């Protein structure tokens, strides 16, 4: 599977195409799991016209990437959006909105499955019959001077099927009457990330 790797930011031509899309797939790779202490190193984006775009981040703000993430007409589809949103909104000057989340959708579809059943790998296999490899490359060095072929493949796989998966899950949510509830969850996700990254306590806790 081909992917385009960029350093620092999206190029202007790619941004122009992405801004014409209703939805794009987005994922991140980081140096660890804690948005307070670890670094955002890679942002993956997919649309059908552009294919997978892998943006390697440095010390400077990527203005075109931020413009895309903030655009109110382009829905950003994640898998487990809370993780990605906290890194993005803590480390970039961007409020990422509107968003959608395939993990949230899958949990609303069937809340009784085991946690592993909501992984991207499990969902793609179950819903689309697509197999992706989730090996040791997941915890490899995403800040290395050059990404390996395995890293590029892994990063591209994480976004390439996400839009198709999201469409399938939305159809199923409509069928069982939970689509509107799902949309409400999605609308709250950027609020949750804003509260957490700006240091507010959870206003919904006692």
Is residue 187 one of the residues assigned to a domain? yes
Is residue 166 one of the residues assigned to a domain? yes
Q: Looking at residue 20, which CATH number applies to its domain?
A: 3.30.420.10
pLDDT of residue 1: 57
Each residue's pLDDT tens digit, 1-34: 579 999 999 999 999 999 999 999 999 999 999 9
Is residue 206 one of the residues assigned to a domain? no
pLDDT of residue 197: 97
- From residue 199, alpha-carbon distances to 3, 89, 93, 202 in Å are 36, 12, 16, 9
| DSSP reduced 3-state for 29 | strand
Is residue 112 one of the residues assigned to a domain? yes
Each residue's pLDDT tens digit, 31-85: 999 999 999 999 999 999 999 999 999 999 999 999 999 999 999 999 999 999 9
pLDDT of residue 68: 99
pLDDT of residue 138: 76
Q: Give 52's strand partners.
A: 3, 46
Is residue 15 one of the residues assigned to a domain? yes
Strand segments, DSSP code E, in the chain are 3-7, 23-30, 40-47, 51-56, 75-78, 99-101
Tally of domains in the chain = 1
pLDDT of residue 2: 76
Range of the domain at 48: 3-196
| DSSP reduced 3-state for 171 | helix
Is residue 203 one of the residues assigned to a domain? no
pLDDT of residue 160: 97
Question: Cis omega (within 30 of 0) on the bond before 81?
Answer: no
Tokens coding 146:
């050059």
Is residue 92 one of the residues assigned to a domain? yes
User: How far is 3 from 29, CA to CA, in rounded Å?
Assistant: 15
Indicate the average pLDDT of the chain.
Answer: 95
Each residue's pLDDT tens digit, 154-199: 999 999 999 999 999 999 999 999 999 999 999 999 999 999 999 9
């Amino acid at each position: 599977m081909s992917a385009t790797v960029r350093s620092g930011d999206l190029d202007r031509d790619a941004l122009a195409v992405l801004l014409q899309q209703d939805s794009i797939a987005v994922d991140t790779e980081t140096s660890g799991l804690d948005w307070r202490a670890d670094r955002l190193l890679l942002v993956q984006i997919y649309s059908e016209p552009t294919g997978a775009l892998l943006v390697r981040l440095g010390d400077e703000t990527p203005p075109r990437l931020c413009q895309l993430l903030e655009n109110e007409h382009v829905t950003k589809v994640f898998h487990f959006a809370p993780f990605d949103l906290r890194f993005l909104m803590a480390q970039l000057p961007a409020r990422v909105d509107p968003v959608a989340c395939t993990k949230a959708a899958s949990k609303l579809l069937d809340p009784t499955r085991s946690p592993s059943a909501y992984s991207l790998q499990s969902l793609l296999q179950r819903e689309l019959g697509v197999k992706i490899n989730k090996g040791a490359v997941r915890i490899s060095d995403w800040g290395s001077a050059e990404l390996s072929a395995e890293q590029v493949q892994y990063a591209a796989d994480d976004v390439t099927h996400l839009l198709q998966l999201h469409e399938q899950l939305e159809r199923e949510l409509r069928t069982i009457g939970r689509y509107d509830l799902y949309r409400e969850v999605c609308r709250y996700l950027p609020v949750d990330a804003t509260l957490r990254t700006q240091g507010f306590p959870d206003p919904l806790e006692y």
